[in-house]
């Protein structure tokens, strides 16, 4: 197969992947703490070099979340918390600890602080239990119930650039299971009664979608033109 056709085909595959990412980003434009996915691409030069050196086809690009601070939105709910700065809230799942920026929490029937999906929110002493009426969460994450501190939210961070992958339900886990989990950065503030909005820029994503569609169409035309040229060549050869 022609190298030109290889490159055009690879381009179309990447644009399909990128279109899916953009569609998912737009679907989560109102999801608290959501971070948009971006396609991790190589330079066009490296694509050409690979195409020239190999006949095995081109490798698909990977995607990664883009960790940017979203706006903080007041909810007035004392169980909602947002992080202003780096770091992640810790959640306990059946598969182990997971990390999130979505601090939309509730109390279950046992007065345990959980995510909306029922996963316990972790404090420094383990899952957080709240037995009382007045709940105050301080800027360091300290949890005060009826005037007495009962625990402190376990806010952690990782080495940058973040090497985290999605773990479902707006949570993340390190790609490397042995990655070092760090304590909350000193400058990070926990803000009670707020949630962090989605970091998706809907207008920018729509512009990207249009660009991706145009690039797909251009590659599609290249494939069609090549096919037509080959057909003409076959016809002339028969004559």
Q: What is the pLDDT of residues 160-183, one digit of tens each?
A: 999 999 999 999 999 999 999 999
Q: What are phi and psi of 141, to 5 degrees?
A: 100, 5
Mean pLDDT of 109-136: 96
**DSSP bridge pairs for 91:** 98, 121
221 against 67, higher pLDDT: 67
Q: Answer for the pair 11, 211: CB distance below 8 angstroms, yes or no.
A: no
- If we measure between CA atoms, which residue out of 33, 194, 25 comes closest to residue 101? 33
Q: Answer for the pair 189, 141: CB distance below 8 angstroms, yes or no.
A: no
Instruction: Work out the pLDDT band at 234, boundaries 50, 70, 90.
Output: low
H or E element in which residue 49 lies = helix 44-53
DSSP H helix total and E strand total for the chain: 3, 19
| pLDDT tens per residue across span 141-150 | 999 999 999 9
- Weakest-pLDDT range from 23-37, 53-67, 89-103, 176-190: 53-67
Tokens encoding 67: 């960790």
What phi-psi label fits residue 95: left (phi over 0), alpha (psi between -120 and 50 degrees) or beta? alpha
Task: Give residue 218's pLDDT.
Answer: 82
| Cis before 161? omega within 30 | yes
Task: Give residue 232's pLDDT.
Answer: 67
- Weakest-pLDDT range from 62-71, 121-130, 151-160: 62-71
CA distance 45 to 239: 40
């Amino acid at each position: 197969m022609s190298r030109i056709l290889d490159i055009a085909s690879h381009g179309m595959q990447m644009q399909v992947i990128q279109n899916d990412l953009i569609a998912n980003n737009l679907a989560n434009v109102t999801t608290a703490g959501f971070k948009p996915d971006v396609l991790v691409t190589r330079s066009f030069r490296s694509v050409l070099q690979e195409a020239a050196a190999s006949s095995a086809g081109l490798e698909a690009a990977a995607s990664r979340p883009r960790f940017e601070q979203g706006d903080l939105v007041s909810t007035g709910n004392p169980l909602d918390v947002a992080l202003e700065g780096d770091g992640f809230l810790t959640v306990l799942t059946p598969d182990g600890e997971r990390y999130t920026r979505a601090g939309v929490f509730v109390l279950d029937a046992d007065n345990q602080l959980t995510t909306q999906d029922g996963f316990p929110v972790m404090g420094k002493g383990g899952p957080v239990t709240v037995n009382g009426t007045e709940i105050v969460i301080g800027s360091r994450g300290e949890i005060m119930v009826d005037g007495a501190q009962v625990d402190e939210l376990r806010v952690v961070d990782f080495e940058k650039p973040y090497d985290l992958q999605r773990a479902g339900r707006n949570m993340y886990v390190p790609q490397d299971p042995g990655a070092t989990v760090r304590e909350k950065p000193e400058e990070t503030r926990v803000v009670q009664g707020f949630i962090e909005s989605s970091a998706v820029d809907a207008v920018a994503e729509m512009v990207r979608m249009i660009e991706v569609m145009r690039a797909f169409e251009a590659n599609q035309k290249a494939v069609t033109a090549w096919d037509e040229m080959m057909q003409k060549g076959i016809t002339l050869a028969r004559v």
